[in-house]
Structure 1
Amino acid sequence: MRMNYGKKLRPVQEKTIDIWLGERFKANRNKTAIVEGINRITYGELEKKINQYGCYFKRRGISKGELVVLRIPNVKEFVFGLLGLIKIGSIPIVTNSLFGENELKGIFDKTDASTLVFYDKDEVSLRIHKGRASRQICKIAVKDIAEGLKEDTENIIEENKELDSIALLMLSSGTTGVPKLVPITHRMIYWHIYGYNQKFQFTSSDSYLACLPLAHKVGLYSPGILNVFFAGGKAVLCSDLDCDDIFVQVEKENITITALVPTLARIWNQYLNQECGYDLSSVRKIIIGGSLVDESLVTKLIEKVECEVLPLYGATEGLALYSIYDRSNLGDAVGYHYSVSGYEEIRIIDENGMDVLNGEEGELIIRGPFTIQSYYNQDVSMKDKFTSDGFYRTGDKVRWDSTYGYQVQGRITDQINRSGEKIEPREIEIFISEHPNIDEAVVVGVEDFLMGERICAFIMTADEKINLSHIRKFLMEKGLATYKLPDQLVKIDEWPLTSVKKINRVKLREIANNTAGKEKI
């Protein structure tokens, strides 16, 4: 039976992570909870590991309310460490394991954290020594925890937690430099999990392939491994994104749900163009989030895997919108129709803070049961991210379409001002991506002496014949206005990424300036 995705949902009884996890441990003790390589861990074994980790952390002097930086990749120890810290009432700061020294140090400088839990042989973690006010950092490696675990866990004390107490701190989805910290409460997580599990129909029979970093919202609970645990299903942890390795896991573990970023989805599409011979028929839902999605990507994925594809638009701060695509609506423009609970308040406003008319563009703002109203240790400079009445400002330019839902046009700050004309890069990107020999396109504005900003198009293509003149002619034939035609073209083999795995537009602008003499009008 097809779910009524627009239905309003609110939990009858809200629970902290400890309480609902304890219920799942009791109900599914002998079922597999985690698969990581050759390791298979039951719910009973997972509960024991969490308690052992919690006991170890307490023996190391970590107490309730203490901030602990957690820097572990997609391995089982991430789950043990995260839930062990939450168990004893401390607050893990969940960080990207690919962060550099500057970003990691920035977290310690911004908070009172004095403990770092990291994976073995992590050179960046080993170089971090002091935090705020020159406080010495206590570093705990995963191998040290494994060696220090004890069988006896009777001394662990269940710390009482309020629903609105902070369960963990995550990094803002828009982070490119020193991170902003997003406080995630037990209540916020429960609303996310409850809503997604009802609307996406997670069951105890589901096997979830965790391709995305567990340190990201989509990898963890929106939806992610915590949703699978809530349903009593199985989470398969994946650290190698090689298609052969992934598809072997899909076959072996009968994967039913996974989440991808658009870049990984495109890699899947390219790989599946070949006769790879893998049976992916168990997959029923693929969630795509992290950045904007176009209809060609969705269509190709549905044709290759024959499942529902759910583009997801959200932010760690509490925004989550999605749509459902299958063979019945192939080729439709991608928009976002539904919210997770239905109790979110969503508005689109102009530069004066007034609501725009339907069909007009403006900034999307949101307020709801799991939307934050401030960052952790927020300074004055961040107040423009929230309205006076508690709405979070996404910074995204959006329009509402009665057929296609919320359509994201791009970032307000990404807008290009070329000779006084305001140009939205997303529009040009969509047109260029329709070229049959171009795999992906990103458009940025680059500082220009004459025009203020020139339009630079970056493309991925194997076609050596494609040049700037070719692209401009192609776009003119598509009907694009002449003032929106690219002034510069740069071919690129690999996208520069930010620490949170989004395309680094700042770096692209630097590249464009360094290649300004080539392929330029």
Structure 2
Amino acid sequence: MDRELQDAARLRAEVEAEPFVRNLGAYLDGLAQEMGDAPAANFFEAGTVLSYREIADKTRALAAGLSARGIRFGDRVGVMLPNIPAFPLTWLALARIGAIMAPINARYTPREVAYVLTDSGAETLVIEAGILAEIAQAPELKDLAALENPIVVGSDDPAGSSTQSWQHLAETDATGFAPAREPELDDLINIQYTSGTTGFPKGCMLSHRYWLTLSRVAAMRANGIVRNVLAAQPFYYMDPQWLLLMAMRLRGTLFVAAKASGTNFLDWVRRYKLEYCIFPQILMKQPERPDDAELPLKMVSIFGHRREMHATLEKRFNLVARESFGMTEVGSALFTPYGASSMVGSGTCGIPSPFREATIRDENGEEVRAGEIGELWIRGPGILQGYWNKPEANADSFRDGGWFRTGDLFRRDERGFHYIVGRIKDMIRRSGENIAAREVEAVMLSWPDILEAAAIPVPDSDRGQEVKACLVLKPGVDGKAFPVDAFLEHCAAHLAPFKVPRFVEIRSSLPKTPSEKVAKHMIIAERADLRAGAYDRLARAWQPA
């Protein structure tokens, strides 16, 4: 074993040897006692700073209020909020009483909101007042229990209202409060929905152990040199949740942006002296500045960056950039050690993270040799406990011995470093968002003139991938007269904005496999530029063939 791997093995052993606290509530209380009034979270655009003590106290008070409301251990609660302090405070308050958060994308349509609430069985919804006003009268939500008496952030409980004020619950006197049942490490805290190939999102059952493990591994990757951390993603996604716990473990501060902004990103880094972030590849397109190498950033995580940009990124901004591989289901699966400078530009996702084992298997479940391609399987304590209410998905995803099939194709080199090759899963990834092609196709097929539909990814330098709709019209429908803008409006009415196709192609047929499945790889291979001859929603014009 060479020096880089020896150092990684030593660090892994240290991280795994540390005992866990009982649950996330104990984690918060211990840090509050140690750090007191030091800033833990800074919602800088709103001017709101929460100290370690305030997070502990506020989540305890809210937990008491939620308990008085009747929320109990194991209850599922939908949370549909923008990036405001109420989001993490609600999540951590629910964790204190053993309730389970089902986060809901604030940009979801009523149809998508109804799916998450129904699938999770959530009978309570915590929602921002403006969002509630937009969706409250939607017919898809008419008979859902969660909408009968929602907990509203930004509401003052007006007389006669069927809503309840989040703020009033958050001001509950928590003197002497204790949950009716103290949650343990392997009790659930999230049903975190992630897009899957079966169509609608699947809910990953995530425990206290999952989050404490992920935050510990993420803090390890920072190599002890980071205190100020940036979260520019929405809290209903994974990243800000683990970034908050990571920053607290580092005894630092999480700086939370209201929403992502490539224009403001580096200005935030400079203004708030941020030392760690998930670095968007698109920032490399910004003009170089003489002071780029003076950025306070010390270490960044990169995901899917082009390998030829890696060394340039490190040199331009005078920092360490490391690739890793993770997913909602398993947390951190692979990581490239801070000291593995020899791997810069290699494209590797790294070696197995602490608490994780990795193997690459062929289609028969047999382990492949170094250099051969197969599916990455992961196991270890604290991975998801399964998909909520999805026995078929669980049967397909788990194998004997606790192994979870990632659905991603990898190869491993002789040193044990892993490289992603592609996805088995029929997924499109746009601007960091996972989009299940089958969900998009279901909406497209509900348009009356469409006989067949396929959603495929189109490479895009700014967003990674864009969605393209390949349509076969019903007999007798004139393709030249197809109302493409009306069709896209139909998609926008039933899909979150990031799922709506950008490109549309009218075809005479779709290629098929012998089993009559659409052969999307053949569509993708038909032409070098998948935009050619397609309608571009942003340009509002058909592109030259």
Task: Give the TM interval when normalised to the shorter protein.
Answer: 0.7 to 0.9
Q: C-alpha offsets along residues 100-130 of structure 1, whole Å, 9 cap, x if unaligned? A: 2222211122132111111230155534688
Structure 1 residue corresponding to 2:265, chosen from 246, 266, 284 = 246
Q: C-alpha offsets along residues 263-295 of structure 1, whole Å, 9 cap, x if unaligned? A: xx2321112x24386775211111124xx3321
Q: Determine the structure 1 residue equivalent to 2:395.
A: 383
In 2, the alpha carbon distance for the partners of 1:491 and 1:326 equals 44
Structure 2 residue corresponding to 1:42, chosen from 45, 48, 51 = 51
Q: 1:414 to 1:112 in 2, by over 3 A?
A: closer
- What is the CA distance between 1:337 and its match in structure 2? 1.9
The answer to whether the 8 A contact 2:309-2:345 is kept is no
Matched, 1:58 2:67: yes
- What is the CA distance between 1:46 and its match in structure 2? 2.0
Q: Helix, strand or coil for the counterpart of 1:489?
A: coil
Q: Helix, strand or coil for the counterpart of 1:162?
A: coil
Q: 1:388 to 1:102 in 2, by over 3 A?
A: farther
The answer to whether the 8 A contact 2:40-2:51 is kept is yes
The answer to whether the 8 A contact 1:295-1:333 is kept is yes
Q: 1:132 to 1:338 in 2, by over 3 A?
A: farther
Larger mean Cα displacement after TM superposition, 353-362 or 321-330: 321-330
In 1, the alpha carbon distance for the partners of 2:371 and 2:527 equals 26
1:200 partner amino acid: A
Q: Determine the structure 2 residue equivalent to 1:287.
A: 301
In 2, the alpha carbon distance for the partners of 1:298 and 1:404 equals 20
Q: Determine the structure 2 residue equivalent to 1:227.
A: 246
Q: What do you get for the CA RMSD once the two structures are aligned?
A: 3.8
Larger mean Cα displacement after TM superposition, 80-89 or 55-64: 55-64
Q: Determine the structure 1 residue equivalent to 2:136.
A: 126
Matched, 1:69 2:78: yes
Q: C-alpha offsets along residues 78-105 of structure 1, whole Å, 9 cap, x if unaligned? A: 1111111112221111232222222221
Matched, 1:4 2:7: yes
Larger mean Cα displacement after TM superposition, 111-120 or 374-383: 374-383
Matched, 1:185 2:207: yes
The answer to whether the 8 A contact 2:96-2:182 is kept is no
In 1, the alpha carbon distance for the partners of 2:309 and 2:275 equals 20
The answer to whether the 8 A contact 1:32-1:41 is kept is yes
The answer to whether the 8 A contact 1:302-1:327 is kept is no
Q: C-alpha offsets along residues 15-73 of structure 1, whole Å, 9 cap, x if unaligned? A: 21111211100111121111112222221222222123223222322222211011122
1:126 partner amino acid: A
1:171 partner amino acid: Y
The answer to whether the 8 A contact 2:219-2:246 is kept is yes
* TM-score, L = length of structure 1: 0.75
Q: Determine the structure 1 residue equivalent to 2:171.
A: 150
In 2, the alpha carbon distance for the partners of 1:79 and 1:28 equals 18
Matched, 1:172 2:184: no
The answer to whether the 8 A contact 2:310-2:345 is kept is no
In 2, the alpha carbon distance for the partners of 1:202 and 1:176 equals 41
- What is the CA distance between 1:301 and its match in structure 2? 2.4
Q: C-alpha offsets along residues 326-376 of structure 1, whole Å, 9 cap, x if unaligned? A: 9955862211222221x4232211222222222111111111112235212
Counterparts in 2 of 1:93-492, with a 5 A limit? 93-122=102-131, 123=133, 125-127=135-137, 135=145, 137=147, 138-143=149-154, 144-150=165-171, 152-158=173-179, 159-172=181-194, 174=196, 177-202=199-224, 206-221=227-242, 224-260=243-279, 265-271=280-286, 273-275=287-289, 281-289=295-303, 292-319=304-331, 320-323=333-336, 328-329=341-342, 332-341=345-354, 343-402=355-414, 405-413=417-425, 449=509, 452=512, 453=519, 486=527, 488-490=529-531
In 1, the alpha carbon distance for the partners of 2:389 and 2:115 equals 13
Mind listing any 5+ residue stretches in structure 2 that lack a counterpart? 155-164, 428-455, 471-506, 513-518
Q: 1:516 to 1:39 in 2, by over 3 A?
A: closer
Q: 1:439 to 1:117 in 2, by over 3 A?
A: closer
In 2, the alpha carbon distance for the partners of 1:448 and 1:409 equals 32
In 1, the alpha carbon distance for the partners of 2:370 and 2:142 equals 48
In 2, the alpha carbon distance for the partners of 1:404 and 1:389 equals 21
